[in-house]
Amino acid sequence: MAKRRRVVVTGLGVVVPNGIGKDEFWKANVEGVSAVSLITSFDTSDYATKMAAEIRDFDPSKYLSGKLLDTTDRFTHLALVAAQLAIEDSGMILEKEDKNSIGVYIGSGFGGMFFYESQFLEVYQNSVGKTSPFDVPRDAIRKIKPWSVPRITPNAPASQISIQYGLLGPNITISTACSASNHALGLAAQLIELQKADVILAGGTEAPITPLTFGGFNNLRVMSRRSDNAREASRPFDKERDGFVMGEGAALLVLEELSHARSRNANIYAELVGYGSTSGGYHMVAPAPSGEDVVRAMQLALDDAEVNPEDVDYINAHGTSTKANDKVETDAIKQLFKRRAYELPISSTKSMIGHLIGASGAAEAVASVLAIQDNIAPPTINYASPDPECDLNYVPNRAQERKIDIVLSNSFGFGSNNATLVFRRFAE
């Protein structure tokens, strides 16, 4: 059996609520800056939850042409900009590369909800008083824009990135809810290992802060209702946590085969060495209480990386700030790491940028890579009341400086699916 090829991270592109670009994002993470505030993009008067982590200073027209802006949705805008930033950061000159060996793997849970909902509401308003919601007047049908379908499909970001840069390798979209971008990164790495590609832009994108999508989560009662103190609402592992805070954003990593990266003298941030994926087979929303599926995902990732639990220096937790998830993840870490669990720094960057759904794992992968680079475990902010059931070192409120060579990063999604990645400091 041929020795599998090594996969390294050579570029980082981030567009998230507390920073555009890896430097701004990482500075905000280390300093514990919350990007959560009251929603401004639509009226939340009738919602129990009135806050989210929106990207306030994002102007896609600074990066994208008018035609591209008009024919793509916000989640595609975010991904295209993240791709541009990642490619620039990698130093790769695409015109000199074999584009047949460069692919795109993107995770997204929802697709183009901004445009979809605006079209839906426009048609609905023209159908009021009809006997059926599907009894749509002819005039309303004529107003449906012809670019509706390619604009809202979940694979639009991966496809548009491939089209804009002329990338001819695999163009794949993963839609596994909150674990989507971890799956995208793990599967992309496997493709490179198996000599099916040399470079893949991999990560995730999501723009779910829209009236209907947000309303659905609001009525599911999984989001925090601490709107009177929005910046402190996302509080993973804290005893007073009452739900997650929704966010939006995109993050892409340039994954590259080692010899290819060396041939162009690329800067190497870290090596992606492990990927584990499991299902709890339990529930569409709630995690399996035993946490056995989470333990298996982490163990599979460690086995893939050929490292032991005692070798891990930091865990970037899924840490959503919901009662059930945080307890199950804590219990699973204890089961796998045993006494070592109490020594490990564990933090959730969702405390600062909220839950980016399908893009969350990718943003957390960037944080994991930069944690290795700078030997800093970012904090879990808003941690005020210790929970007896969540009693580990969650890096409360302040970043911790320590030697970090190996990071384990968890993502768990609705539908009872899990994906864990392992990053390691690069060494020849």
For the purposes of burial, counting CB atoms within 10 Å of the CB of 299, is it exposed (0-12), middle (13-18) or buried (19 or more)?
middle
The whole-number mean pLDDT for each consecutive block of 10 residues of the chain, a chain of 428 residues, reads 88 98 98 97 95 94 90 96 98 98 97 79 65 65 76 93 98 97 98 98 97 94 97 98 98 98 98 98 94 98 98 98 98 98 98 98 98 98 98 98 98 96 96
What's the CA gap between 365 and 410, in Å, rounded? 9
- Residue 285 belongs to a domain: yes
Sign of CA dihedral 277, 280, 281, 283: negative
- Residue 2 belongs to a domain: no
- pLDDT at residue number 136: 65
- pLDDT at residue number 416: 92
Number of separate domains in the chain: 1
Specify whether the CB–CB gap between 147 and 80 falls below 8 A: no
- pLDDT at residue number 311: 98
- pLDDT at residue number 142: 73
Active-site residue, selected from the candidate residues 77, 183, 260, 355: 355
- Residue 83 belongs to a domain: yes
Q: Is 355 a catalytic residue?
A: yes
- pLDDT at residue number 66: 86
> Please, where are the H alpha helices in 19-155?
22-31, 66-70, 74-90, 113-125, 138-143, 148-152
- How far does the chain reach from its first CA to its final CA, in angstroms? 22
Q: Is 77 a catalytic residue?
A: no
pTM: 0.95
- Tell me which residue range forms the domain holding 240: 8-112+153-424
What are residue 418's phi and psi, to 5 degrees? -135, 145
- Residue 120 belongs to a domain: no
Going through 97-181 in order, the beta strands assigned E by DSSP cover 102-107, 171-174
Q: Which residues have C-beta within 8 Å of that of residue 398, sequence separation ≥ 6?
A: 32, 379
Local structure of 176: helix, strand or coil: coil
Active-site residue, selected from the candidate residues 77, 178, 183, 390: 178
- pLDDT at residue number 28: 98
What's the CA gap between 331 and 325, in Å, rounded? 10
Q: Which helix (H) or strand (E) holds 360?
A: helix 360-374
Place of tokens 């975010």: 78
What's the CA gap between 33 and 352, in Å, rounded? 6
| CATH number for the domain harbouring residue 372 | 3.40.47.10
Local structure of 244: helix, strand or coil: strand
Active-site residue, selected from the candidate residues 77, 183, 260, 318: 318
- Residue 318 belongs to a domain: yes
Place of tokens 């893939």: 304
- Residue 122 belongs to a domain: no
Q: Is 283 a catalytic residue?
A: no
Q: Which two tokens stand for residue 216?
A: 């659905």
- Residue 242 belongs to a domain: yes
What is the DSSP code (8-state) at residue 400? E
- Residue 119 belongs to a domain: no
